[in-house]
C-alpha cells in the first residue's frame, strides 16, 4: 500500500510569543484571545527564504531516510510562488518580478538541481493554501498507483505574507517547510483513504470570511467521513487525530462533532509551533511518531483546511 | 362585552375577527397604546392603555364602564421577544397579567378569563408534556418562557374562572398560503440557514419542531373562549404528533432553497446536527472571537435553539377533542412557509 515513508521539516529560526506578536502589531485579535485558543509561539522568518527552508527540510529527509537522490522519481513542490520563494523574508515581496521572465525562476527546478534529483520529474502545486501538502500526497499516491512510480518527494514551503501580520482567522501562523516521501510500497504510515472537498463559492475568502467560518465545521465533518469511508473505517476506529495547528477550541468542537474523545487529539504542537501553513499535520505526525505517542498499526486521521475553499482529510495507518 | 388585549397582534387580531363574526351581538373593547391608530371596526371600541402602567393606564371613566359591561376577558398581549432580559419580560408578561387580573377582580360580570400562554412554559422539560402540566422544575430556555410560566401561576390563583391556552410557536398566518405577517426567531433562523451562517444545530434523537399557523390558534381561542365548561382547563394549541423531526425540517428547508440554481451552485453545507455541549463550545468560541456578524447569528439562535435539543411532545388530546381536529401537521405546509420567506426576502426588514 502507498505510504508516507518519511517526514522532515524546518521552521524559521526565530520564535516569538503571542504577546510579542501582539505588541508588534502583527495580530488582528487580542493576544489573550489567541492564547485562549491554545497558541503560545509562532516561528517568524527574518533572513530565511521559503526556498532555503525547503532545501533544509528536503535534504534532512533524504539524509535521515538514506535515500539516494537519483532514486526519487517525482518532485512535487508547492508553496510561496515562483521567484518570491527565493527571497529572504525581510525583503518585501515584489509583484513586479512576476511581470518579467524572473517569474520562471522556479524553486522546484532549483531544488531538483541542488538535491541532485537527476531522474525526478518536477511538478508544481498551487492555490491550495494550507492543504498543499495533502494535495501533493494525493497526487504522489495517484502517480504511484497509476504509473507505477516508486518514490515521490513532496515539498511545501510557505511563509505568511508580511503585510498580513501573523494571524489567519484567529490562528497564529508560522513560517516553515515540510518534506515527505510518498512510496509505492512502504510499510509505515500507509495511506488508507483520502478525500478533498473544494467549495469554489468561497474563492473570495476575505469577503466571505463569516460564511467560511460557518461552513468550516459541517464541511470538515463531511470530508472526514469521506476519507474514513474510503479507508473502510468509522470514527470510532480512529486512534489519533493528527491536527493542523489551528485553534484548540475549534478542534474541541470538531472532535465533538465527530463523536471522538478529546484525548485522541494529538495537540501538543499547537502552542509550541503555531499554525505552519506548509503542512503542520505532517510535522505533528513526525513528532508524534518520534515521541512514541503513535505506535505502529494505529489508525490516524489527518484533517486540514486550506483558507478559502479547500477541506481535506487523510486516513493513515501508522 | 369582550375585553381583549393583544388585538394588534396576529393572534389577538385573528381572535377579534372570528369572535365578531361568530356573534353579531358581541361588542369588544380592545386595549391599545394609541387608539388614534386603531382602524374603525364596527362594534369595537379601542381604549387607551398599557400593560406596564398601573391599572393598565385606563382612565377612571373607562375603567368604570368596563366594570359595568365586560363579561369575558381574553388576555393575548405579551412581549414575545425571546432575547429579553428576565426583568423586562416580567414587566409585560407577569406584571401586565397581574394588572389585568386585578381589574378583572373588580369587574363583577366577568365569567371567564382566557389567558393566552405558550406551550413552551414547559421549558427544559423533555418527553411527553401533558396539557395539565404545571411543573417548572426543569427550568427554561429563555426569559419569555419563564415569564409566561410565572404569569400562568397568577392566572391559576385568580378569583374568576379561567382557561389557559398554550399555543406553540406561530410560524405563518395560514397553512394554505404559507404567508408570514409577523416574523420571529424561526424565520430569522431560516434566513441564517439560507445565508450559510449556521454551522451546527443542537438537537437530540427524537427531537422535533412544533409549529402552528396563526389562524389555527386564533380560531381555536375564539371557539374555546365562549364555552362555559372549560373553567380551570389548560389546553395545548400545538402540532403535537404533527411536529416535524429536526432532520426532516432541515431537509425540507434545503429542498426549497436548492430549487434556485444560483443558491444551489454555492454548495453551502447543511449544518451539522450535534449535542448541546458541542454547540455550547461553538457559542463560546464565537463569543471569544468578537466577530460581530457571527455573534449576532449565534445569539439570534441561542434564545430558542436549545429547545431543539430538548425533545418533547406536546399532548393535544384535550384541545383536539374540543376543536374536533388537530392542528395541521408542520410537514404539510413548512415548504410553503420557506417559499414565502424566499419570495418576499423575509419582508426586507429582518437583519441577518
Distance from the A262 Cα atom to the nearest Cα atom in chain B, whole angstroms: 12
pLDDT one-digit tens code per residue, B271-281: 999 999 999 99
Assembly ipTM: 0.88
Mean pLDDT of the region A262-284: 96
pLDDT one-digit tens code per residue, B106-148: 999 999 999 999 999 999 999 999 999 999 999 999 999 999 9
Residue B292 has pLDDT above 90, yes or no: no
Q: Which of A33, A215, A221 sits opposite B268 (nearest CB)?
A: A215
Output the pLDDT for position B349.
57
Residue A161 has pLDDT above 90, yes or no: no
Q: Do B197 and A210 touch (CB under 8 A)?
A: yes
Per-position DSSP letters for A224-267, written without gaps between them: HHHHHHHHT--GGG-SEEEE-S--HHHHHHHHHHHT--GGGB--
Here the cell at position B334 is 413548512
* Phi, psi of A304, deg, nearest 5: -150, 160
Output the pLDDT for position B329.
97
pLDDT one-digit tens code per residue, B51-108: 999 999 999 999 999 999 999 999 999 999 888 999 999 999 999 999 999 999 999 9
Distance from the B196 Cα atom to the nearest Cα atom in chain A, whole angstroms: 6
CA distances from B152 to B75, B115, B218 (A): 11, 8, 19
Mean pLDDT of the region B210-229: 97
**How many whole angstroms separate alpha carbon B99 and alpha carbon B118?**
19
pLDDT one-digit tens code per residue, A71-130: 999 999 999 888 899 999 999 888 888 889 988 999 999 999 999 999 999 999 999 999
Closest of B133, B126, B116 to residue B13, by C-alpha: B116
Q: What residues contact A101, with CB distance under 8 A and at least 6 apart? A: none
Residue B108, number of CB atoms within 10 A of its CB: 11
- Angle at which helices A280-290 and A132-147 cross, to 10°: 80
Any idea which of A161-170, B189-198, B199-208, B265-274 has the lowest mean pLDDT?
Answer: A161-170
Residue B263 has pLDDT above 50, yes or no: yes
Backbone Cα Rg of chain B = 21
Q: How confident is the model at residue B289 (pLDDT cuts 50, 70, 90)?
A: confident
Measured at the alpha carbon of residue A69, what is the angle toward residues A57 and A110, in degrees to the nearest 5? 60
Of all residues in chain B, the percent with pLDDT exceeding 90 is 86
**How many whole angstroms separate alpha carbon B130 and alpha carbon A142?**
61
**How many whole angstroms separate alpha carbon A133 and alpha carbon B158?**
72
Of all residues in chain A, the percent with pLDDT exceeding 90 is 90
Closest of B185, B168, B306, B309 to residue B240, by C-alpha: B168
CA distances from A132 to A139, A153, B96, B263 (A): 11, 13, 62, 28
Q: Do A210 and B269 touch (CB under 8 A)?
A: no
Q: Which of B199, B277, B290 sits opposite A256 (nearest CB)?
A: B277
Coil vs helix vs strand at A282: helix
Among B278, B280, B297, most A C-beta atoms within 10 A, so best to mutate, is: B278
Find the Cα–Cα–Cα–Cα dihedral B25, B29, B32, B36, rounded to 10°.
70
Residue that the C-alpha cell 483520502 belongs to = A194
Q: Do B269 and A201 touch (CB under 8 A)?
A: no
Q: How confident is the model at residue B240 (pLDDT cuts 50, 70, 90)?
A: very high
Burial of residue A164, with CB atoms counted within 10 A of its CB: 0-12 exposed, 13-18 middle, 19 or more buried: exposed
Residue B352 has pLDDT above 50, yes or no: no
Mean pLDDT of the region A140-159: 97
Assess contact for B327 and B179: CB atoms under 8 A.
no
Residue B11 has pLDDT above 90, yes or no: yes
Assess contact for B210 and B239: CB atoms under 8 A.
yes
Q: How confident is the model at residue B350 (pLDDT cuts 50, 70, 90)?
A: low
Output the pLDDT for position A7.
98
Residue B177 has pLDDT above 80, yes or no: no
Amino acid at each position: 500500500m502507498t505510504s508516507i515513508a518519511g517526514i522532515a521539516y524546518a521552521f524559521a529560526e526565530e520564535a516569538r510569543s503571542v504577546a510579542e506578536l501582539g505588541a508588534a502589531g502583527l495580530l488582528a485579535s487580542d493576544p489573550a484571545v489567541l492564547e485562549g485558543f491554545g497558541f503560545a509561539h509562532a516561528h517568524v522568518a527574518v533572513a530565511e527564504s521559503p526556498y532555503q527552508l525547503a532545501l533544509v527540510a528536503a535534504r534532512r529527509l533524504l539524509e535521515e531516510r538514506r535515500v539516494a537522490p537519483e532514486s526519487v522519481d517525482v518532485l512535487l513542490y508547492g508553496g510561496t510562488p515562483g521567484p518570491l520563494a527565493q527571497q529572504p523574508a525581510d525583503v518585501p515581496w515584489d509583484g513586479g518580478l512576476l511581470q518579467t521572465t524572473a517569474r520562471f525562476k522556479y524553486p522546484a527546478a532549483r531544488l531538483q538541481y541542488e538535491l541532485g534529483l537527476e531522474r525526478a520529474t518536477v511538478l508544481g502545486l498551487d492555490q491550495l493554501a494550507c492543504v498543499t501538502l495533502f494535495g501533493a500526497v494525493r497526487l504522489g499516491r495517484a502517480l504511484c498507483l497509476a504509473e507505477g512510480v516508486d518514490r515521490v518527494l513532496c515539498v511545501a514551503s510557505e511563509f505568511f505574507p508580511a503585510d498580513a501580520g501573523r494571524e489567519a482567522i484567529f490562528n497564529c501562523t508560522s513560517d516553515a517547510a515540510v518534506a515527505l516521501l510518498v512510496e509505492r510500497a512502504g510499510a509505515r504510515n500507509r495511506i488508507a483513504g483520502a478525500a478533498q472537498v473544494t467549495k469554489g463559492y468561497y474563492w473570495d475568502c476575505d469577503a466571505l470570511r463569516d460564511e467560511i467560518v460557518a461552513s468550516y465545521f459541517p464541511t470538515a465533518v463531511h470530508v472526514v467521513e469521506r476519507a474514513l469511508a474510503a479507508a473502510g473505517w468509522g470514527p470510532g476506529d480512529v486512534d489519533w487525530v493528527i491536527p493542523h495547528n489551528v485553534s484548540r477550541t475549534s478542534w474541541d468542537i470538531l472532535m465533538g462533532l465527530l463523536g471522538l474523545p478529546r484525548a485522541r487529539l494529538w495537540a501538543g504542537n499547537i502552542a509550541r509551533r503555531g499554525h505552519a501553513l506548509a503542512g503542520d499535520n505532517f510535522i505533528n505526525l513526525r513528532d508524534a511518531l518520534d515521541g512514541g505517542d503513535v505506535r505502529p498499526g494505529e489508525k490516524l486521521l489527518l484533517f486540514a483546511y486550506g483558507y478559502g475553499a479547500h477541506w481535506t482529510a487523510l486516513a493513515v495507518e501508522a | 362585552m369582550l375585553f381583549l388585549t393583544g388585538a394588534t397582534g396576529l393572534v389577538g387580531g385573528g381572535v377579534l375577527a372570528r369572535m365578531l363574526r361568530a356573534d353579531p351581538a358581541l361588542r369588544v373593547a380592545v386595549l391599545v397604546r394609541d387608539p388614534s391608530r386603531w382602524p374603525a371596526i364596527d362594534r369595537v371600541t379601542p381604549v387607551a392603555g398599557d400593560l406596564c402602567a398601573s391599572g393598565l393606564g385606563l382612565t377612571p371613566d373607562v375603567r368604570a364602564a368596563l366594570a359595568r359591561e365586560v363579561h369575558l376577558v381574553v388576555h393575548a398581549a405579551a412581549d414575545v421577544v425571546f432575547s429579553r432580559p428576565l426583568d423586562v419580560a416580567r414587566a409585560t408578561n407577569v406584571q401586565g397579567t397581574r394588572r389585568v387580573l386585578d381589574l378583572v377582580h373588580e369587574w363583577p360580570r366577568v365569567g371567564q378569563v382566557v389567558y393566552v400562554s405558550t406551550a413552551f412554559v414547559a421549558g427544559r422539560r423533555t418527553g411527553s408534556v401533558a396539557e395539565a402540566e404545571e411543573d417548572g422544575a426543569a427550568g427554561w430556555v429563555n426569559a419569555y418562557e419563564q415569564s409566561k410560566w410565572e404569569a400562568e401561576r397568577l392566572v391559576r390563583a385568580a378569583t374568576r374562572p379561567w382557561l389557559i391556552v398554550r399555543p406553540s410557536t406561530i410560524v405563518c398566518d395560514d397553512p394554505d398560503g404559507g404567508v408570514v405577517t409577523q416574523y420571529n426567531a424561526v424565520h430569522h433562523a431560516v434566513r441564517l440557514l439560507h445565508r450559510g451562517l449556521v454551522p451546527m444545530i443542537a438537537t437530540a434523537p427524537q427531537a422535533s419542531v412544533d409549529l402552528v399557523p396563526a389562524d389555527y390558534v386564533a380560531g381555536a381561542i375564539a371557539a374555546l373562549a365562549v364555552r362555559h365548561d372549560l373553567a380551570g382547563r389548560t389546553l395545548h394549541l400545538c402540532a403535537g404528533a404533527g411536529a416535524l423531526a429536526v432532520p426532516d425540517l432541515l431537509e425540507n428547508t434545503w429542498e426549497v432553497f436548492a430549487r434556485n440554481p444560483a443558491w444551489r451552485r454555492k454548495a453551502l453545507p447543511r449544518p451539522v446536527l450535534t449535542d448541546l455541549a458541542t454547540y455550547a463550545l461553538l457559542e463560546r468560541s464565537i463569543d471569544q472571537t468578537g466577530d460581530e456578524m457571527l455573534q449576532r447569528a449565534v445569539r439570534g439562535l441561542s434564545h430558542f435553539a436549545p429547545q431543539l435539543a430538548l425533545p418533547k411532545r406536546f399532548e393535544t388530546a384535550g384541545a383536539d377533542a374540543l376543536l374536533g381536529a388537530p392542528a395541521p401537521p408542520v410537514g404539510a405546509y413548512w415548504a410553503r412557509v420557506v417559499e414565502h420567506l424566499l419570495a418576499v426576502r423575509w419582508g426586507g426588514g429582518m437583519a441577518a
